[in-house]
Structure 1
Amino acid sequence: MRTILMDIVKVFFLFVAFTLLFYYGLRVMHAEYEHFHRYTPPEGPAVKVYSEEHSFFERIHLFFRLGE
C-alpha cells in the first residue's frame, strides 16, 4: 500500500511540475511575440494583390458564381 501511495505522489508532483513548465513556457513565448508587429508594410518588391474596383453587380455575379 505504501508503494502505491508513493507512486501516486510522484505522478502528482511530476504532473504539477510539467504543468508549471508548460504554463511558464507559454508566458515566455507570449512575452516574446507580444511586441512583434504583424501588420508592418512589406519590404522589397511587393506586389499589390487586389488593385481594381468592381461594380456592385460584378461582385454579386462573382459571389453567386463561386457559390459563397
Structure 2
Amino acid sequence: MLRGFGPWRRRPGLMLLGMVPALLVLAVQVSLVVPVGAVLVMPAAVAGATMLARDLVATAVQTRV
C-alpha cells in the first residue's frame, strides 16, 4: 500500500495537476450558485429583516407611551 505514495513523493506536481479539473468545477459551481442564491434567497431575507425591524420599532414606540 505504501508503494502507491512513491510517485506523489517523487513528483508532487502531478498531484497539483490532478487538482486542476476539480478547481475548475468548483469555480464554475460557485459562479453559478452565488447569483442564483442572491436572486432567490435575498428578497425573502430582506423582507424578513424589514418586517422584524418594523415590529421592533412598533414595540419600542408602544413601550415608551
If the TM-score is normalised by the length of the shorter chain, which range does it land in?
0.3 to 0.5
Ranked by relative contact order (alpha carbons within 8 Å, sequence separation 6 or more), the top structure is 2
What is the TM-score with the length of structure 2 in the denominator? Answer: 0.41
Choose between structure 1 and 2: higher helix proportion.
2
What is the TM-score with the length of structure 1 in the denominator? Answer: 0.40
